[in-house]
Amino acid sequence: MNLHFVRRGTGRPLLLVHGIGGSWRSWNTILDALAAERDVIAVDLPGHGETPQLAGENSIATLADAVTGFLTQHDLLGIDAVGSSMGARLVLELARRGGVLGAVVSLDPGGFWQGWQIPFFYHSVDLSVKLVKALQPVMPALAGSAVGRTVLLPQFSARPWAVDSQQAIDEMYTFAHSPAFDELLDQLAHGQVQQPAPKGSIPGSLVIGWGRQDRVCLPSQSKLALEKFPDARLYWFEHCGHFPQWDQPAEAARLILAVTSGQPFTEASIARTTPAKAAPALPKAALVGAALALVAGSIWVLSSRRRGRREYS
């Protein structure tokens, strides 16, 4: 399988797998830190970035097959790997299959929701992406400002105003332009559930990292993730949303390097600094402005839809 990828650094190879609607650029906040010690290979999954969509079904299973084919093609079987969101679910599936990956870090994996959490995930993300698509003409300006990021990213970040502006611009673009997004979102919510990996079946190091303030994959879902992957160790990112590489980039990089080095580590050695220093607080005036902008944006989207229906009829 031909996947587009970016390769940086030297040392032992390390695979980075982004989430739904992302690209290799999803890792830009920690790419340099990882490449300082590892030979980093950041891929674009099928239907994302510069990799064409699969000819058939888009699902966790078919993406896992595609990544396995890529690793086989490049003689990289057994590579250490990190995944985020859907990519975190993907590296867990590859670890479960065996013989594909070495050490694995899974950051806020999707797919461990149950009951009411399933429609919550599906409809909240679906609505967010519809808004992102509708706002594409003004997205660079919105994502480039602290107020705009506060409007756009509260589901994905614990401190959305502090997310790197270029990171937000890149991510909002790929969210809106991934041809595989809708099918993968449906598969994540309503497709095959993640199969378990019995205790002792995963020989390499396996750590699942989770943001305490994740509003996409709720922290309570970590219980089911550990039940299905009992060989995993759970690491909590404090003051962190769905993407640790956004909210706690230095801490995320330390965790990844520690796990994939094979050396023992403690939570204190990874966390180090207090999370409160990670980003400045947004002034109250900006929060009020963000709320007003959200209302205005919603009205604009609704009015655009009504105009579209009238023109069609």
CA–CA distance, 11 with 188 (Å, rounded to integer)? 34
> Is this prediction's pTM over 0.75?
yes
Q: Is 269 within 8 Å of 189 (Cβ atoms)?
A: no
Domain ranges of the chain: 5-116+194-277
Confidence at residue 278, expressed as pLDDT on a 0 to 100 scale? 44
The CATH number of 5-116+194-277, from 1.10.3720.10, 3.90.550.10, 3.40.50.1820, 3.40.50.620, is 3.40.50.1820
CA distances from 38 to 12, 204, 288 (A): 5, 18, 43
Q: Which amino acid is at 137?
A: P
DSSP state, 169? H
Per-residue pLDDT of the chain (313 residues; tens, 9 = 90+): 799 999 999 999 999 999 999 999 999 999 999 999 999 999 999 999 999 999 999 999 999 999 999 999 999 999 999 999 999 999 999 999 999 999 999 999 999 999 999 999 999 999 999 999 999 999 999 999 999 999 999 999 999 999 999 999 999 999 999 999 999 999 999 999 999 999 999 999 999 999 999 999 999 999 999 999 999 999 999 999 999 999 999 999 999 999 999 888 999 999 985 444 444 444 444 444 444 445 445 445 445 545 554 444 4
Helix 60-73 vs helix 181-190: crossing angle, to nearest 10: 120
Token digits of residue 291:
């709320």
Confidence at residue 263, expressed as pLDDT on a 0 to 100 scale? 84
Confidence at residue 132, expressed as pLDDT on a 0 to 100 scale? 93
Q: Is 87 within 8 Å of 67 (Cβ atoms)?
A: no
Question: Residue 83: beta bridge partners?
Answer: 17, 106
CA gyration radius, the chain: 19
CA–CA distance, 114 with 108 (Å, rounded to integer)? 16
Confidence at residue 275, expressed as pLDDT on a 0 to 100 scale? 42
Confidence at residue 7, expressed as pLDDT on a 0 to 100 scale? 98
